Structure formats: C-alpha cells, structure tokens
Chains A and B, each alone.
Chain A
Amino acid sequence: MRISEFVEAAKKGNINIIEHTKKALKEAEKINEEYHYITAWADVEQQAEQLQKRQEEGNATGKLFGVLISVKDDMCVKGIESCASSAILKGYKPLFNATAVERCIREGAIILGKTVQDEFGFGTFGDKAGIGYKKPKNPVNKKHFPGGSSSGAGGLTKLADFPHLSLAESTGGSTAAPASFCGVIGITPTYGRVSRYGLIDYANSMDKICTMARTVEDAALLLEIISGQDEHDSTSAPEKVPQLTDIPANVNGIKIGIIKEAFEGADNHVRKQVLDAVYQLEQKGARKIEISLPITMKYGLAAYYVLAMCEASTNLAKYCGMRYGQHEKLSGNYNEYFSRVRTQYFGEEVKRRILLGTFARMAGYRDAFYTKAAQVRTKIIEEYNNVFSQVDVIITPTMPITAPTAEEVKKLTPLQHYLMDVITAPINLAGLPHINVPCGQHNEMPIGMLITGKHFAEAKIIQVAKAVENNE
C-alpha cells in the first residue's frame, strides 16, 4: 500500500490508529531486538491516541496522518534523547524539534523513535556507532553491514512492513550508502533544499536531511513535505519547491551521462547490473552519453574529506562535558577536564577526524589544505555544471561493492575505507541531488544505482528513478 493510500484510509477512519500503531510498534521492537536500529523510542501510543481523537472529532488532516516516521539520531526531537549515536551526548534531550521533524508532525506523522547511525555521521559501513551502542546489522543478511552513516534508517526501512518513512541524513554519502546496501530508496536533496535547523552538525556546508522509503513515490512524498526555506536556517534555499509526487515514470528523450571511471572502480557484478539497468532505460527512450569529470574524479574525494573534517573538528569542539550530555566528576583545570571527557566518550573514528580536521586548518597548513580544498570545491561545482549542460542526469553505481561482512571490512585500511565514498563524496561536496534505486542483487545482497541531477532538479531524478523502479 502506498503511503498516500494508507493516509486516506486512516483519515476516513477505516483504520484504527491506536491499534494499528500498537501493532506496528511491536513489529518495530521485534526488528530492533534482532537488528539494533533504534536508539530511543518516542511515546508512540500517546501520539496515536491524539490522532485517533482528532480523527473522531473530524479533524484528521495532513499528508502523513498516522504514518510512523523514524528519525536519524542526529536530528533533534524535542524531549527525546538525540545523540548522533555518540556516548558524549548521552542523556541530551533537545528543547526543540528539527524543522524537518516539525513539518512531519504538522502533517499528522507519528514519530517512532531515533535510528542508529555511525557516530556523528562518520562512517560508510554502519560499523561505527558510538561507544556503548549495539551495532546495527544488514536487514538482508545479518552477517553483513547495513551501510552508514544512516544505518538504522536503511535497515528499518527495508524490514518494516507497516507504513513507515525514514528521515535520514547525508554529508558525503550517508544516505546513498545504506540505501544501496539495504536495498531501499534514498533521496538526498540539493544542499539547502531542506532546512538543517535541528540537525546535529557534521559538516555544515554539506549536511543534508534526506528521505528513505521502499518506493520512490513515498520517499518523494516525504521530501516534498520537508523541503522549503526556513527562517531558522539561513543556508536554506529560497527556491520554490515543485511538486515531487505523482511524477510519471517517463525517460523518453532523457540524456543520461555515464562516467567511465566510476564504473571501472566498481566490482564486476555491480558494474554489470547497473549497466543492464541503464540499457533498459535506453530501451524506454533514454539516451546514453559518455561524460568525463577529470577534476572531480581526481580531487573530489580528497577535497571532500579535508573540508568535512575541518568543519567537523570545529563542530565537535563544543562537546566537552560541561553544558549538556555526558558529565564527569570535576577535577583538574578545565583543559584537563575537557580532555578527559573527550578522550573517554568519543569513539576512535571521531578522534581521528578531529585530529585530521584540526591539523588541516592550523596556521602553516591551512592554505595547503583547507583553502586549497575550498578552491577545488568551486572547480568541481563548475565541472558538474558544465556536464549538466549536456545531460539531464548522471548514472553511476552507488557503491563499488555490495554490503561487506565484518571480516571483509576489517581487511580495509582507513584509506580504502574512505575510497568507498569516491562516487558519493564529490556529488555531496557539490551539493547535487541524488537518489539510490535498487537495481539487482549479488548473492542476495542489494546493488544500488545512483541517479544524480543538477541543483534543485529533484523532480528529474525522481522521474528517472521511477523508470528504474519499473524495470524488469
């Protein structure tokens, strides 16, 4: 059932919201016991009771009436522990809702709870939730990782049979990667399309609140609701939000850009199935054009990591055990105290990124790293803009591999780890909208295709994604 069909039924009273929600909650709890996707539960039953009352009073409104929404842990939900899955924020309950969350609530959504992630968004596989967090598992095969950093969002979206949508978040690929590894739809909008107010920052100039669902239409519905300028975030874009739902699956005359290098780096089975899917689009009238993005492919990942870590290292400075989150017994001077708390409660990867990010912006290195990376970013955006004067969308594999197992990941060096983001990082750096659509499997593990559009062309990538969804 499409979400919109469920909403219509719920509004009419054909569904008892309280009973439906209780059943869904039980199902979610059962999934969570096995797969570890939820870090904190909202008071779901109370929300359901209120909606039921509204329905009975003839006041059932909203495009998400009665729909359960799970929220990535790095988005603030008022009164619900929101920690970006980091031990250092344990106990932190925000005083306000993120704008995206608030907009869902206004449309009658029920907030289910917070989904686990790699700590502060730092991870590709979903194996880096903070100290003390249970590791999430791939929904298709528990031996494999779910992808990160929006791991809980991807896994729960795959497994929840009740009507459910998920708010995810991406800085450098954190929606596309888990969507690909879990086999669900993940839309990352243009930077600025969705307000970041209430998002616990990773790299502010790249962070984007995203949507996940089982179908393109449902993910588009959620995106349509949360998009649009917000007075609380001055980087949110004034561009008008077009209709994103009910877009026909038509690719006739669509020009698809194919980056050769992006396919060469992928595993054989991934490459083959993505190209097969492109072939099917060609059969439906799309045209394939080979394109080249030399600067992007060579420097995109490096520039992404430098900038993301520089910003992250300043964002994480405020977590020091003083004003919120984890506290310790006071002793020593403030410097000793801050260091002790940060040493104890930040995970390995977080410390690595703070150190790298701090180094890259220190006097003497700043010009060579931070400033240079910012210049490269401008070049990359130019390069993409050029390409988009020739093509409508770019298609690549989302990830070069299918979801790996713990053993496989262990063998990767930190550098190989980062290389997993070679496709997703540059488009995130450029702030371009993109969508992951499942397009096959290998040994049962999902393979994802990534459709990228130019700035604010969400409607176009949704249109193409729908055609892929309809492929045989």
Chain B
Amino acid sequence: MNNFTTDVVIGLEIHVQLNTTTGLFCGCPIKPAEPNTATCPICLGHPGAKPLVNEKALEYGAKVALALGCKIAPTITFSRKTYFYPDLAKNFQITQFELPLGNNGHLVLDDGTIVRIERAHLEEDPGSIIRETESVLVDYNRSGVPLCEIVTGPDMHSPEQAREFMKKLLNILGYLGVYDPNTGIVKADANVSIKEKNYTRVEVKNITGFKEIERALQYEIQRQKSQDVKLETRGWDSEKGITHFMRNKETEADYGYIVEPDLPIFEISQDWIRSIQASIPELGEQRAARWVKDWKIDETDAKIIANNLDVADLFEKVAKKSKPIIVSRWFRRDILRQLNESKLELNDTKFNENNLAETINLVDTGGATQQVGSNIIQLLTLQDISPGDYVIETGLQQISDSNELKKLCVETITEHPKAVEDYKKGEENSLQFLVGQIMRKTKGTANAQKVKELFEGLLK
C-alpha cells in the first residue's frame, strides 16, 4: 500500500492563526475580549446570517501558499465540514475541501530532505471550550478566526526533522507578516508510524510549537516501539509529556462535505496571484544564502540573523554602512543578545542603522574598544545616544597612545610580580591577566591588542 522504507515516517497538519483584524467570514474584531462579546449573528451561526469572505484572509492564505511554492487553485471554493460539537456554532465548519487554495508545494530541510506541501487551505476556527468539573463552557469569541491549514506529505523521518520543518515554517510565516508570534497560535497534528509496526499510522493531536513537536514525536515513537500500535488518534499532554488515547480511526466522524452554498465560487485571476507574489519579501533562507555568497558571512551567523525579518532588514542597512562581516559578528554577539536579554522586540528598542553603524565603525577604526562598543549597544536598547559624543563625553575614547599605555604596563609589571614570573615560565593565561589589569585601570578604554603587544615587548 505504501512504499515507505525508513524507520520512522512523519507527516504534519499545521494550523496557523492568521493575524487579520477581523474574522474569516464576519467583521468581528480579533482581539482578546470578555467571553462571547466579540461575536455577531454570522459567527454565532444565527438563522438567516450569511458568511462574507474576508479578502485580507484570502490574501494572507495565498501568501503562505505561494511562499511554500504551492500552485494556486483556479477558483476559491469553500466547503462545509459537518460534525456535531458544542464549540462549532453551526455544527459545521466552513473549510476548503474539494479545491485547496494552494497545493503541490514543498519546503527543503537543511539535509536536503524535500517535504512536500500537499495543501494549504483556509478555514474558520471553532470557539473555545472551557472545561469545568461537571460541565463545559463555550466561548465563541474565537469562532470564525481565520486559520491556514498546511498539510505535508509523509516525508519526515525523525522528530528533529519535524522540529526543523516547524521552525522553518514559522520563520516563513514571520517574514510574510501573516502571523503574530506573540498572540497567534500554531497547532500541529502529527501522523507518525514506524517500520517495526508495519507503518500503522497514529495521529497525535494538539501539539503547540516546534519544541513540543520534537518532544511529542520522541515520546510517541518510543511508545510505538514498546507497545501494540493501532490505527488511532491520540492527544499530546505537554505537562505530563505523554500522548493519550482519544479515539479509534474507525469511529471517526464522516464529515459529509458539501460545497458551501452561501458563497459563490470566485475565479482567481493571474493578476491577483502576481500581485500577491510581488508582495512576498525575500525569505529568510534566500537572504542568508545571499549574504554568505556576496558578503562571505559565516553561514550560521547569517541564518541566525535572517531568522527575524526586522533584524534582517536592520542588518542589511547597517552592513551597507560598514563592513558586512564585522557587522554580522556584532549582530550575532551583541545585538541579538541584547534583544534576548531585554525581551524586547526590535521595534521597541532605539537601535537604528545610524547608531549601530557608528558604534561598529568607531570600534573598527580604533575610536573605542570592543568593550566600550558592547556597552554602547546595551545603552542603545533603551536610549538613542550618539555613540561618538558618548565616548567623548564620558572620556571613554580608546587609549592607543603608546607612551601612556607603556607607563601603565610598567606600573602593572611591578604590581604583579607573580604573574610576570608565570608568564616567563610560559603560562599564556598570565598575559591575559595582565592585560585585564590594564583594562580595569582604563575602564575598558585601552586598546587591548596594543597592550598585549606592549607586554610581550616588555617581558621578552
């Protein structure tokens, strides 16, 4: 039936919440609100209400599909997927079945594995269920939020690959600006089977985020190796770190799809596709590859900087005002660290291409030490200062004057006879120690390279 050969076979179905301002079929705002207040007759499925397609959501969906290399369908066709559940206001979900918005795309992993994208389609989110001890409550605020569902082929062979896929996908979504990593939810269902159990397929539902997917799959593969495997649907419990039985595949609902008769079938024009295609920015991976090729930037640095669209944009601007390789090191070492530590978004900091380029160039031309440069970058997270003025005002220009430095070195040699002795015995570390003493004395403004050379001369 299948022609799998690998030990593990994994396929993913990923639901991404698109960050449109209103619902997929109604004008309700998508933002946190008191339960059941951000609703209207359409998303509550009132008799007589009719869905209206949100064009922004179509555009976002098409962006995702095109960025994943999918072909866009000739028409937009929605369908009804019928099943009874309290969070589903109409007891059917409007989704795409016959003709997904995009199909036949792919995403390539670092090891060259091609993961096929079988379909990328739009659908509405149901409401949310809040479980109480004896009953459940339903909040329909989420009902009608646009989701993009992305279905891969069974093309991944390890939890790590699944993690990498998710990471790459999230990177693309971030670049497209169709998904908000702070408020949006990305949920994955994974189909996983192993050779040892004849590739009996188990679906694991409700996995959130790329770290979880690796954990969930690692657990599930181990479970399959040690237990009987049946065709079934299991749920991922991230707190306990286990998957648990949900239902048999045989008893799964038959969704009885029909074409959504309240929405006409829209023709998609080539012009529309072209305009969407044109609005897709150069994606992270392509960008990183270009930097490596054109600017000889370290591949790992390039990938890490390209991970976030805003950071990558800023990097390019700064690189053009300085030396790209040096700028990439500053980004990797200082700028990304400051973002991480401060937990700030780039837009919330005072970083800009001018103050960063000035800082980097100042250090590069010997106007300030590496240490002072790092300090300035830390300050730039919160206040827009002029690096040049700052160095002058605080007397932190780099001391490169040989006579002044030589005086300090001689002073230090007399203060630390033990270290001097150790150095002469061949201990390289003690030279580092002596340089450190000078840096302390000068509050980091000494030119470290020069100090090192001076010591080497004096202690010959």
Taking CB as reference atom, which chain B residue is nearest A76? B48
CA distance A311 to B48 in the complex (A): 14
0/1 per residue, A155-180, Cβ < 8 Å to B? 00000000000000000000000000
- The stretch among B39-47, B99-107, B223-231 that forms the contact with chain A is B39-47
0/1 per residue, B19-54, Cβ < 8 Å to A? 000000000000000000000010011111111110
With an 8 A cutoff between CB atoms, is B84 at the interface?
Answer: yes
With an 8 A cutoff between CB atoms, is B219 at the interface?
Answer: no
CA distance A89 to B48 in the complex (A): 12
Pick from A76, A92, A234, A313: contact of B262, CB under 8 Å: A234
With an 8 A cutoff between CB atoms, is B90 at the interface?
Answer: yes
B259 cross-chain contacts in A, Cβ below 8 A: 374
Which residue, of B41, B47, B50, B262, has the highest number of chain A Cβ atoms within 10 A?
Answer: B47
With an 8 A cutoff between CB atoms, is B257 at the interface?
Answer: yes
CA distance A329 to B49 in the complex (A): 27
With an 8 A cutoff between CB atoms, is A302 at the interface?
Answer: no
With an 8 A cutoff between CB atoms, is B135 at the interface?
Answer: yes
CA distance A370 to B41 in the complex (A): 29
Contact B263 A358 (CB under 8 A): no
0/1 per residue, A332-368, Cβ < 8 Å to B? 0011001000000000000000000010011100100
Chain B interface mostly: loop
How many residues in B have their beta carbons less than 8 Å from beta carbons of A? 30
CA distance A311 to B261 in the complex (A): 8
Which of under 10, 10 to 19, 20 to 34, or 35 or more describes the interface residues of A? 35 or more
With an 8 A cutoff between CB atoms, is B388 at the interface?
Answer: no
Contact B45 A323 (CB under 8 A): yes
Within 8 A of A (CB), among B227-281: 254, 256-259, 261-264
Given the interface contacts A204-B262, A205-B261, A314-B92, does A94 sit within 8 Å of B46 by beta carbon? yes
B256 cross-chain contacts in A, Cβ below 8 A: 313-314, 358, 361-363, 366
Min distance, Cβ A307 to any Cβ of chain B, angstroms? 9
Given the interface contacts A314-B92, A370-B258, does A89 sit within 8 Å of B84 by beta carbon? no
Given the interface contacts A204-B261, A323-B89, does A196 sit within 8 Å of B44 by beta carbon? no
Contact A199 B262 (CB under 8 A): no
0/1 per residue, A81-117, Cβ < 8 Å to B? 0101000010010111010000000000000000000
B44 cross-chain contacts in A, Cβ below 8 A: 323
Given the interface contacts A95-B46, A235-B264, A361-B257, does A314 sit within 8 Å of B82 by beta carbon? yes
Contact B50 A232 (CB under 8 A): yes
With an 8 A cutoff between CB atoms, is B80 at the interface?
Answer: yes
With an 8 A cutoff between CB atoms, is B442 at the interface?
Answer: no
With an 8 A cutoff between CB atoms, is A27 at the interface?
Answer: no
Contact A334 B82 (CB under 8 A): no
Contact B41 A366 (CB under 8 A): no
Pick from B51, B84, B262, B264: contact of A317, CB under 8 Å: B84
A310 cross-chain contacts in B, Cβ below 8 A: 258
CA distance A200 to B52 in the complex (A): 16
Min distance, Cβ B147 to any Cβ of chain A, angstroms? 20
B91 cross-chain contacts in A, Cβ below 8 A: 317-318, 320
A366 cross-chain contacts in B, Cβ below 8 A: 256-257
Min distance, Cβ A65 to any Cβ of chain B, angstroms? 26
Taking CB as reference atom, which chain A residue is nearest B90? A318
With an 8 A cutoff between CB atoms, is B153 at the interface?
Answer: no
Taking CB as reference atom, which chain B residue is nearest A94? B48
**Sample of 17 further A-B pairs with CB below 8 A, known A95-B41, A95-B46:** A75-B48, A197-B50, A201-B262, A203-B261, A204-B261, A234-B53, A234-B264, A235-B262, A313-B82, A314-B82, A314-B256, A317-B92, A320-B91, A322-B86, A323-B44, A324-B46, A361-B258
Residue contacts A-B, CB under 8 angstroms, 22 given: A75-B48, A76-B47, A82-B47, A95-B41, A96-B48, A198-B48, A201-B48, A201-B262, A232-B52, A234-B53, A234-B262, A235-B261, A235-B263, A310-B258, A314-B80, A314-B256, A314-B258, A317-B90, A318-B90, A320-B91, A334-B84, A374-B259
The 4 closest A-B pairs by CB, nearest first: A317-B91, A204-B261, A205-B261, A76-B48
